[in-house]
Structure 1
Amino acid sequence: MLADWLDPALLAPGLTAQDLFWAGLAVFGAAVLRGFTGFGFALAAVPLTSLVLPPEVVVPVVMVVQLIIGTGDAVRERRAVDRGVILWLTVGVALATPLGMWLLVWLPPATTRIAIGGVVLLGVAASWRPPDLGDLVRLRSVRIGVGALAGLFTGLAAMPGPPAVAYMLAAERDPRVIRATLMVFFFFTAVAGTISAWGAGLIGRTELVLTAISLPLVIGGSAIGAALFGLGATRFYRPAALIILLATGLTTIIREIVIY
């Protein structure tokens, strides 16, 4: 019975055991990156896994995984967050996530993969050199707009990070507040994304089985990444991680353009 549930061909049309292996390896590698740098799981997992699985399968799985692993983060960091920022960013997310989910369903897979690659590149740019927004960062409308953009990216690619990271780095100087606020915000985006995916009929047996397979890989990979960081990270770890993500985004886009 269990063998039937784990049969690759039954999980997704055309999926092979080799595809499942490479998808698992991509998830594990993304989890190591998350544990080592503190960010980048979806930015790495979604485009890499989408090379062997349809994006409309990958995105809901990553959303559910992030919802589960983000619950503990949200509980631990809740006291250090900027609650005003969280409130209005989350309003924007609630408004725009269903639109992103609709685009995920409507767009052809190749176009979606190119869009995902573009979101990855935006994430790299936002993390490497955030824009200077001046006093605009305090406006409620700007916060809602940033949240809406994050919601759009959540529904389309399970990647709320690029606009949220850029905003927080521009608006806040305390690294602890930035880290805590982003962690709790990403939990809320995972909630919104999972609800939207469920409502759109994108979470079924395949997605739940793949989530169950992914969780041990994510937990183990994150622990290994954290241990590697604890051994003595150098000042080059952040640029190295961003270079990896840059290569991932470019590879995804170039591959789809050449195939298309």
Structure 2
Amino acid sequence: MELVAGFTWPAIAIALAITFAGAFVRGVAGFGMAIILVPVLALALTPVEAVLVTNVVALLVGLAELRRLLREADRSALAISALVAVATAPGLALLAVTPAPLARMLIALVAISAFVAVLRPVRAANRPGRVATVATGLSSGLLTGFAGMPGPPVVPYYVGRAIARRTAKASMLLIFTVAALAGLLSGAALGVMHWRLALLGVLLFPMVVLGNWLGNLASDRIDDRAWRGFVALVLAASAVAALVKLL
């Protein structure tokens, strides 16, 4: 079978289809692409490679939307992004030395806790305290490196507050763009980021653009209650998938 940068065409076709699905979820919910993409890519790549390819596509789509994200995001997103950048490299280094069964258990626990947190009654729009903000940023950075999934700590932080959906989505996506850049820089520094992973990410990017655009259109057609329900559904699917993999 002919190879492209070490990947067969059937493998690329499967990755394109899953990338489209993940990007659509991202467009609707404001997160979720990594939750869908990383486990599938990990079937053909090592966990570290799957995380890095996901970071490539997340960075590309984030940069394409950067001006809008900066304009619409809550100010707390900048502080959380800085903490994510600091904590990503330790998370990636931790992934490299953590036994797979333990890593799966930790990821499952995080996914479950995020699902439970987002089911709580919506809180006031007031920004959470400094401790909560720091904890969100550091844990999101660790999960960016460890699992390529910065979302579980960040989603309850924004979705659980009575703020505009546009602000919540822009804040999350800005953080995830910074997380993707931090993940790639950390991978390069640790010597695990290779050119073929960047090429695969570029090949997947058109599907990200298409899926994200359609997801945004769908998001504009649903009310806030339905949107929060969809967010909870994505987190629930993430928790179930993590538990199945653990068991």
- TM-score interval, normalised by the smaller of the two chains: 0.7 to 0.9
- Indicate yes or no: 2:214 matched with 1:215: no
1:93–1:35 CA distance, 2 compared to 1 (3 A): closer
TM (normalized to structure 1)?
Answer: 0.78
Return the alpha-carbon distance in structure 2 between the equivalents of residues 136 and 228 of structure 1. 28
1:138–1:197 CA distance, 2 compared to 1 (3 A): same
Conserved 8 A contact 1:93-1:152: yes
Q: Which amino acid aligns with 1:73?
A: E
Conserved 8 A contact 2:6-2:196: no
Return the alpha-carbon distance in structure 2 between the equivalents of residues 152 and 239 of structure 1. 27
130-139 or 92-101, larger mean C-alpha shift: 130-139
2:214 corresponds to which of 208, 224, 227: 224
Alignment of 1:55-70 (within 5 A): 55-70=47-62
Gaps (5+ residues) in structure 1? Answer: 9-15
% identical equivalent positions: 29
Return the alpha-carbon distance in structure 2 between the equivalents of residues 179 and 229 of structure 1. 11
Return the alpha-carbon distance in structure 2 between the equivalents of residues 116 and 138 of structure 1. 25
TM (normalized to structure 2)?
Answer: 0.81
Instruction: Name 2:4's counterpart in structure 1.
Output: 5
Return the alpha-carbon distance in structure 1 between the equivalents of residues 135 and 228 of structure 2. 28
1:95 corresponds to which of 86, 101, 114: 86
Aligned residues: 245
Q: Which amino acid aligns with 2:87?
A: A
Q: Which amino acid aligns with 1:219?
A: V
Q: Which amino acid aligns with 2:174?
A: V
1:137 corresponds to which of 128, 149, 167: 128
Conserved 8 A contact 2:38-2:54: yes
1:185 corresponds to which of 154, 161, 175: 175
Conserved 8 A contact 1:153-1:159: yes
Q: Which has the larger radius of gyration?
A: 1
Shift of 1:178: 2.5
Instruction: Name 2:139's counterpart in structure 1.
Output: 149
Return the alpha-carbon distance in structure 2 between the equivalents of residues 118 and 190 of structure 1. 22
Conserved 8 A contact 2:80-2:136: yes
SS at structure 2 position matched to 1:137: coil
Conserved 8 A contact 2:59-2:177: yes
Alignment of 1:1-260 (within 5 A): 3-8=2-7, 18-83=10-75, 85-129=76-120, 137-139=128-130, 141-170=131-160, 173-229=163-219, 232-233=221-222, 236=226, 238-240=228-230, 242-257=232-247
- CA-atom RMSD in angstroms: 3.1
Shift of 1:113: 4.2
